[in-house]
């Protein structure tokens, strides 16, 4: 059976994403597709048409089944929102190449290693909040805390100097831009990141360090486990991805809590719920504006909505999957006590977010510090005046004016 034989004859090909992101609202079309059309045909601005999967079981299947290839997507005219295809290196690989590099990197992101970073992260958070208190309200939470906090933690992990971190904050938009940056701007930003990290690599050859980048240089030079290109690509990707998502999550999570005062009050009264709260907000917030990272079927694969034929592209929407009533009770309700919580906010399968433990720790420290320091945190402007990012693959606030 082919996919054309298994799908309803009246099925249409829809433009995707389904309109621009609306704050943190998940487009209601996803719920209708989950119920009536779990395998639907979509067309993006560039590249091949694709199948879109939205049910929890199907999304996990696409992310984990080796018959859906990321390497094949990197070699094809993959469906995308931008005219060019950014090289993501590790995310463009399949095993065993992906396994080789991931095993090398995973040593830096063990639960024990992440917990060793927690005291330093807490000191950074305290220093940033001290500066906010000294300056007095109102303050832009993104500029004062949401951006510099994860940038400092990731920079410390890799050994990037404080003076250079703001520039990286600008360059990293090359990874998340859909329509915001022109192809020339993206190429320029990628080139600057590459040149910077190549210089950092050479510095560590001259003067070895015990940070993650120093360890990667040893793996390249003494153990021959990385090529020179892989070394620089991995370093650039880690630095950019290491703070861009967390910056957006901090702003979105605070916004979400302020819009759910009952859950905010619960978290204040029961701070031990913070780890569960982070997981629930990871589930609830549709961070990606669409479904990035397409995969191609290498053979016919049966999903709940039909058969995906070999050679077809598939997009898995993790945000929709995390609101699937088949997997989550009352999925559109924010419940900080939810358990179990099998969300796919950090992905699933071999490409499960390498830095998930680090992101969890950063979000716990960030939110815990904010709630402790500012028990009366509130928006400082009318919600209609909040500025949301546009033209990017990630949802987020450009600024979040708050008072206390």
The partner residues of 364 in beta bridges, in order of sequence, read none
Q: What is the pLDDT of residue 173?
A: 66
Average pLDDT over residues 273-277: 98
- Going by pLDDT thresholds of 50, 70 and 90, the confidence category of residue 141 is very high
- Going by pLDDT thresholds of 50, 70 and 90, the confidence category of residue 9 is very low
Q: Looking at residue 179, which CATH number applies to its domain?
A: 1.10.630.10
Residue 2 has pLDDT above 70, yes or no: no
End-to-end CA distance of the chain: 61
The partner residues of 14 in beta bridges, in order of sequence, read 42
Average pLDDT over residues 220-246: 75
**Structural domain that includes position 134:** 3-403
CB-CB contact of 347 with 318 (8 Å):
yes
- Please provide the size of the chain in residues: 404
**Which of the two residues, 187 and 30, has the higher pLDDT score?**
30
Q: What is the pLDDT of residue 188?
A: 82
- Write out pLDDT tens, residues 34-63: 999 999 999 999 999 999 999 999 999 999
- Write out pLDDT tens, residues 66-109: 999 999 988 899 999 888 766 666 778 888 888 888 887 777 67
Q: What is the pLDDT of residue 168?
A: 67
Residue 241 has pLDDT above 80, yes or no: no
* Helical (H) or strand (E) element with 379: strand 378-379
Within 10 A of 51 (CB to CB), how many other CB atoms are there?
25
- Going by pLDDT thresholds of 50, 70 and 90, the confidence category of residue 3 is very low
Overall domain count for the chain: 1
- Going by pLDDT thresholds of 50, 70 and 90, the confidence category of residue 10 is low
Any idea what the Cα angle at residue 140 is, between residues 139 and 144, rounded to 5°?
90
**Which of the two residues, 261 and 6, has the higher pLDDT score?**
261
CA separation for the pair 388, 282 (Å, rounded): 19
CA 89, 95, 100, 106 torsion: positive or negative? Answer: positive
């Amino acid at each position: 059976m082919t996919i054309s034989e298994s799908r309803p004859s009246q099925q249409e090909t829809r433009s995707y994403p389904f309109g621009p992101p609306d704050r943190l609202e998940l487009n209601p079309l996803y719920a209708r597709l989950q119920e009536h059309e779990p395998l639907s045909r979509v067309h993006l601005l560039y590249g091949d048409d694709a199948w879109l999967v939205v049910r929890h079981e199907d999304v996990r299947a696409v992310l984990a089944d080796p018959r859906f290839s990321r390497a094949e997507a990197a070699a094809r005219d993959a469906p995308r929102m931008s005219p060019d295809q950014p090289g993501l290196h590790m995310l463009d690989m399949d095993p065993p190449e992906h396994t080789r590099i991931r095993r090398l990197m995973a040593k830096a992101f063990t639960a024990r290693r992440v917990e060793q970073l927690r005291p330093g992260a807490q000191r950074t958070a305290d220093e940033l909040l001290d500066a906010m208190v000294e300056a007095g309200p109102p303050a832009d939470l993104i500029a004062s805390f949401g951006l510099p906090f994860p940038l400092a933690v990731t920079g410390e992990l890799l050994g990037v100097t404080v003076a250079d971190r703001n520039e990286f904050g600008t360059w990293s938009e090359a990874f998340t831009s859909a329509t915001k940056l022109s192809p020339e701007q993206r190429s320029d930003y990628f080139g600057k990141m590459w040149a910077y990290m190549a210089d950092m690599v050479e510095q560590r050859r001259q003067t070895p360090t015990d940070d993650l980048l120093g360890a990667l240089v040893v793996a390249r030079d003494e153990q021959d486990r990385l090529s020179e290109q892989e070394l620089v690509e991995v370093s650039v990707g880690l630095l950019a991805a290491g703070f861009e998502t967390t910056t957006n999550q901090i702003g979105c999570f605070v916004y979400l809590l302020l819009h759910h005062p009952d859950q905010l009050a619960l978290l204040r009264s029961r701070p031990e719920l913070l780890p569960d709260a982070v997981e629930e907000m990871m589930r609830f917030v549709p961070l990606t504006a669409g479904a990035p990272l397409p995969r191609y079927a290498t053979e016919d694969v049966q999903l709940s909505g039909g058969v995906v034929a070999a050679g077809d592209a598939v997009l898995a929407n993790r945000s929709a999957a995390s609101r699937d009533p088949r997997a989550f009770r009352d999925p559109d309700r924010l419940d900080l006590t939810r358990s179990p919580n099998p969300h796919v906010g950090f992905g699933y399968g071999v490409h499960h977010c390498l830095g998930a433990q680090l992101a969890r720790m950063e979000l716990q420290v960030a939110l815990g510090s904010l709630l402790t320091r500012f028990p009366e945190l509130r928006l400082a402007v009318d919600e209609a005046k909040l500025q949301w990012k546009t033209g990017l693959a990630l949802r987020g606030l450009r600024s979040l004016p708050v008072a206390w």
